[in-house]
């Protein structure tokens, strides 16, 4: 059925995920939803030095929020911070250098952050698509380490901080590519069979949807959501998917268009009124499975994912310095 899922997803993508799809959907947006002042609220955005992360951070800064940029590359991050401060006039932009593929580093950062800051909204945007199987210094497959385990560790480490705040939110940037994948808990690090970076990435994005649904059940005081930004023209797309970029570059969304639903989920009072745990596209909840695609997984697989990630998380917490 994989050929069917891929074909349906691509046709859906041509119709909905491109710039034209955004322009069509945006006719139904209520501008007042995001015309808000969020001064006094604290937002943390991972992968904030470029692409959708930077566009999101900039839009939140324009609305007066305190923004914590979590980035891996110090030089690019400092340039992004300077750009955001200059363009928005908001001085409350803070920079943290953290590699989201390194769980020990995440734990160390989160423990320090919890002691020094408050947090109202966490935006898990950092991600990668590595097209050959690479291992981190901890022996973790790099896509899994960044997209799934890194998201899990950072979120769970910051939950105690979020639990203290009113209207706390967690937003994870996923991908419509997850629609072609059924959750696979038997090979989380893609050690078996032929390695396909695009499909590994899509599997990680399915895992993020499951994480969001599970967190929403377990933490009722926090509003969780996961979203698809559409196909946007970002540095990550250009470098990781050059063939796709060449074919689609004239139809791709801008970074701001890709970030629109992230910003809406982060700041809009309307978004917070919707049920927790949903998957969004263009400010609307949408299904997490294609019709007839056979991508539903049994509850025990979803529980197993959470158990395995918690085991990894605790292992790296115990070896974290500081």
CA atoms 241, 243, 246, 250: torsion sign: negative
Number of domains in the chain: 1
Q: Would you say residue 171 lies in a domain?
A: yes
Q: Would you say residue 232 lies in a domain?
A: yes
Q: Would you say residue 15 lies in a domain?
A: yes
* Mean of pLDDT over the chain: 93
pLDDT at 252 over 70: yes
Q: Would you say residue 264 lies in a domain?
A: yes
Q: Would you say residue 29 lies in a domain?
A: yes
Tokens, residue 108: 């160390």
Q: Would you say residue 194 lies in a domain?
A: yes
pLDDT at 188 over 80: yes
pLDDT at 245 over 70: no
CA distances in angstroms from 179 to 20, 175, 272, 313, listed in the order given = 21, 8, 25, 27
pLDDT at 132 over 60: yes
The label of the residue with tokens 């917070």 reads: 272
8 A C-beta contact, residue 227 and residue 56: no
Positions annotated as catalytic residues are 201
Q: What is the residue range of 36's domain?
A: 3-316
Q: Would you say residue 322 lies in a domain?
A: no
For the chain, the maximum distance between any two Cα atoms, rounded to a whole number of angstroms, is: 52
Q: What is the pLDDT of residue 159?
A: 98
**CATH at residue 75:** 3.40.50.720
pLDDT digits (tens, 9 = 90+) for 43-98: 999 999 999 999 999 999 999 999 999 999 999 999 999 999 999 999 999 999 99
Q: Would you say residue 223 lies in a domain?
A: yes
pLDDT digits (tens, 9 = 90+) for 214-241: 999 999 999 999 999 998 877 777 777 7
CA atoms 275, 278, 284, 290: torsion sign: negative
Bridging pattern class, strands 278-281 and 42-46: unpaired
pLDDT at 321 over 70: no
């Amino acid at each position: 059925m994989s050929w069917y899922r891929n074909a349906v997803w691509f046709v859906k993508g041509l119709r909905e995920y491109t710039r034209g799809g955004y322009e069509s959907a945006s006719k139904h947006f209520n501008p007042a939803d995001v015309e808000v002042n969020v001064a006094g609220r604290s937002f943390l955005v991972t992968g904030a030095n470029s692409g959708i992360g930077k566009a999101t951070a900039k839009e939140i800064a324009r609305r007066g929020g305190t923004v914590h940029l979590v980035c891996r590359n110090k030089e690019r991050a400092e340039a992004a911070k300077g750009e955001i401060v200059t363009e928005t006039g908001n001085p409350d932009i803070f920079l943290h250098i953290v590699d989201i593929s390194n769980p020990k580093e995440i734990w160390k950062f989160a423990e320090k952050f919890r002691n020094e800051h408050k947090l109202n909204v966490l935006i898990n945007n950092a991600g990668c698509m590595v097209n050959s199987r690479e291992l981190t210094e901890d022996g973790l497959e790099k896509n899994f380490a960044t997209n799934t385990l890194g998201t899990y560790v950072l979120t769970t480490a910051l939950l105690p901080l979020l639990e203290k705040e009113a209207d706390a939110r967690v937003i994870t940037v996923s991908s419509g590519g997850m629609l072609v994948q059924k959750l696979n808990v038997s090979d989380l690090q893609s050690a078996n069979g032929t390695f396909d970076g695009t499909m590994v990435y899509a599997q990680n994005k399915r895992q993020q949807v499951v994480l969001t649904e599970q967190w929403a059940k377990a933490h009722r005081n926090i509003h969780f959501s996961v979203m698809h930004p559409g196909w946007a023209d970002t540095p990550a797309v250009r470098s990781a998917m050059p063939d796709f970029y060449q074919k689609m570059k004239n139809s791709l969304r801008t970074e701001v268009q890709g970030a629109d639903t992230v910003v809406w989920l982060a700041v809009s009072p309307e978004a917070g009124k919707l049920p927790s745990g949903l998957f969004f596209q263009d400010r609307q909840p949408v299904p997490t499975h294609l019709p007839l695609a056979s991508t539903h997984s049994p509850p025990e697989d979803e529980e197993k994912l959470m158990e395995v990630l918690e085991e990894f998380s605790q292992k790296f917490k115990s070896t974290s310095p500081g």
